């Protein structure tokens, strides 16, 4: 025995943990696994821009006051893929750190911050999963408790920072083996969960729609006579064809009528010069998330000197591009200073 070894006192931290402590760390591990699962599900859905989607021309006709709080939040996140990606990456990182015992404390703190923000947004924007996000936040706080004293000392004192607790269920040779396996499993689960999520969304991954219809249009000419009263005038005033094709080859469409009513639906170009619209009822109040269409219209479209002619199914209109209602989509990004546009 060397002099240094003889002078080193035996501390409680070097003693093998007792059965209650091992059981506590086992429950700690189960909670970490559960939290990691949810963080991976919600994190990857944002990384791949699936939870909030991407901003769509069909949203251009929705007025600020017409949106629900949840719809406002979803469109805010959809408008900035970078913000949505970073939010998801932070959740995935927290979930991955939670899986490995040596980084569990950092993962718990990061997860608590991530989920506290989500919980706050869910509360203030009336998103239905308030209880779940609140419980997940609490779960991360519980996981972080064993490390709290060390982190608080590191932040608020100038003295030495003690070593943090190391979750120990097994010790000795078995403990060393499970430690290595835990690291491999943490990395493997992180990668596998991302690949599994990517493969599971399959045909739901959006692809960009091309063609003359895509964009935001106003009706420049309509052969239908107006109604005697504006409140009864159901002629089309504006129509927006979305640029993201989703399930079954359909994309979103929105129609603003002359009386102010708004209709959502989907469209599909079924043949050259032919488009089929599946329209939902007029938007009224707290509508369901995915309403079934009530009207199906088959229309023909063709470019003209002044825009696009759309006719059939009782409609004969000429559409012209509406730059004012797609200003949000056309405003480019620039590093250089320029006059702010806050309209």
pLDDT tens-place string over residues 195-244: 999 998 877 788 998 899 999 999 999 999 999 999 999 999 999 999 99
Q: Does residue 190 sit in the same domain as residue 223?
A: no
What domain range includes position 223? 207-330
| Ramachandran quadrant class, 22 (left: phi over 0; alpha: psi -120 to 50; beta: rest) | alpha
Q: Domain tally for the chain?
A: 2
HSE toward the beta carbon, residue 19, CA cutoff 13 A: 0
Pick from 177, 150, 153: nearest CA to 164: 150
320 phi, psi to nearest 5 deg = -125, 145
- pLDDT category at 333 given cuts 50, 70, 90 is confident
Kindly report the pTM of this predicted structure: 0.85
Q: Does residue 28 sit in the same domain as residue 177?
A: yes
Each residue of 266-282: pLDDT tens digit? 999 999 999 999 999 99
Q: Does residue 197 sit in the same domain as residue 261?
A: no
Q: Does residue 188 sit in the same domain as residue 75?
A: yes
Where is the domain boundary, 150, 168, 201?
A: 201
Q: Does residue 168 sit in the same domain as residue 244?
A: no
The angle formed by the CA atoms of residues 58, 61 and 67, to the nearest 5 degrees, is 95
């Amino acid at each position: 025995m060397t002099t240094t070894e003889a002078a080193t006192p035996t501390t409680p931290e070097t003693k093998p943990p007792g059965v209650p402590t091992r059981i506590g760390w086992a429950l700690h591990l189960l909670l970490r696994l559960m939290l990691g699962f949810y963080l991976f599900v919600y994190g990857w859905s944002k990384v791949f821009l699936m939870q909030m989607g991407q901003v769509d021309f069909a949203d251009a006709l929705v007025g600020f006051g017409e949106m629900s709080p949840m719809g406002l939040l979803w469109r805010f996140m959809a408008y900035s893929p970078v913000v949505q990606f970073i939010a998801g990456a932070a959740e995935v990182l927290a979930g991955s750190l939670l899986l490995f015992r040596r980084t569990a404390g950092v993962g718990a703190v990061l997860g608590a911050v991530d989920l506290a923000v989500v919980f706050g947004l869910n509360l203030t924007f009336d998103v239905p999963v308030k209880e779940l996000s609140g419980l997940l936040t609490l779960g991360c706080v519980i996981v972080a408790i064993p490390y709290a004293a060390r982190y608080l000392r590191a932040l608020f004192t100038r003295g030495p920072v003690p070593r943090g607790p190391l979750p120990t269920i097994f010790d000795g040779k078995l403990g060393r083996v499970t430690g290595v396996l835990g690291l491999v499993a943490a990395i493997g689960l992180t990668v596998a969960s991302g690949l599994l999520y990517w493969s599971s969304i399959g045909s739901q991954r959006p692809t960009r729609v091309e063609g003359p219809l895509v964009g935001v249009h106003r009706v420049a000419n309509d052969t239908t006579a107006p109604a005697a009263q504006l409140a009864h005038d159901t002629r089309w005033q504006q129509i927006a064809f979305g640029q993201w094709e989703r399930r079954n080859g359909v994309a979103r469409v929105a129609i603003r009528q002359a009386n102010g009513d708004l209709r959502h639906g989907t469209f599909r170009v079924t043949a050259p010069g032919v488009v089929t619209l599946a329209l939902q009822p007029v938007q009224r109040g707290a509508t369901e998330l995915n309403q079934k269409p009530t009207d199906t219209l088959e229309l023909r479209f063709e470019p003209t000197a002044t825009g696009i002619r759309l006719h059939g199914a009782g409609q004969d209109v000429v559409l012209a591009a509406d730059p004012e209602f797609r200003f949000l989509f056309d405003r480019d990004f620039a590093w250089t200073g320029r006059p702010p546009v806050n309209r």
